[in-house]
A and B are shown apart, each in its own frame.
Chain A
Amino acid sequence: MRDYPWYDIVGADETIMQGDFMSSCPVIVPSSSIGEGRISAEIIEYDVIVMSQSCDLAHHKLDNVLVSPIWPIGEIGSENDFFKSRKGKESLRQGKLSGYHLLNRCELDGFETDFQVVDFRNVYGVPLNFLIELSKRNGKRLRLLPPYRENLSQAFARFFMRVGLPVDIDLFK
């Protein structure tokens, strides 16, 4: 069977695509009241993965890029015991935890990572031009390859299109 690698390393100048990793992506959180003049704002930084479609990015068909924060599985496990447990990790692997998506380990030189968890619940819109500059500043970056990239996109779609029914059908016994 052919090898189907999960990741590749791409140059800083390469066009941004869906599945590209960006480290330390800042997001501005403005104070509650905004008016002209000086205001204070909070900057929060995340390692993120690009969720917007590659064709939209390549043809500059959007102004803001959708990004999802990512976390090494160990870090998310230190916040929540379920992610530490075998059951939790296995549920994550099987795609039973809506809102989260598991990515494989990376063993590429200089980009070694543990399993990583994508958080679909807290997505951000980052200006495309800013993200292009950030990627140039950050240098080479990791890219999730097909079909794992499409699998990520599908998992996000599944999460986003959920419908909660006010009256569900009772469980069959």
Chain B
Amino acid sequence: MSVSQSKPYPQSVTKEKVDSKEEFANKTDLEDSIEYDVVVRMPPKKRYLVEIDVREITKAKPNFVLPEAI
């Protein structure tokens, strides 16, 4: 590794290279974090028509399940 002697506190001249590596890492992280919003409408495995006899239509009744701790 070469070292610049032109300043009172010698600095590594490889810093620029290190920075570009960090930049690359940031870009990679960003790409890694992207979530894709893909929607596929899959057809059902099978589809057919039936005739149904509706005998009665009633409003549903609640079916509460209380937690055991109460």
Contacts and interface: CB of A to CB of B under 8 A. Distances in A.
Contact of B42 (A30, A56, A79): A79
A6 interface: no
A54 interface: no
A30 B54 CA distance: 11
B15 interface: no
A96 B35 contact: yes
A45 B47 contact: yes
A38 interface: yes
B39 interface: yes
B52 interface: yes
B12 to A, nearest CB: 27
B7 interface: no
B37 to A, nearest CB: 7
B55 A36 contact: yes
Interface residues of B, number: 26
A61 B40 CA distance: 33
B50 A38 contact: no
Size class of the A contact interface (CB-based, 8 Å): 35 or more
B69 interface: no
A43 B48 contact: yes
A97 B49 contact: no
Contact of B63 (A35, A63, A69, A83): A63
Contacts of A62: 65
B6 to A, nearest CB: 32
A165 interface: no
B52 A69 contact: no
Nearest to B55: A36
Interface of B: 34-57, 63, 65
Given A40-B51, A46-B45, A62-B65, 10 more contacts: A34-B54, A34-B57, A35-B54, A36-B55, A36-B56, A38-B53, A40-B52, A45-B45, A63-B63, A97-B35
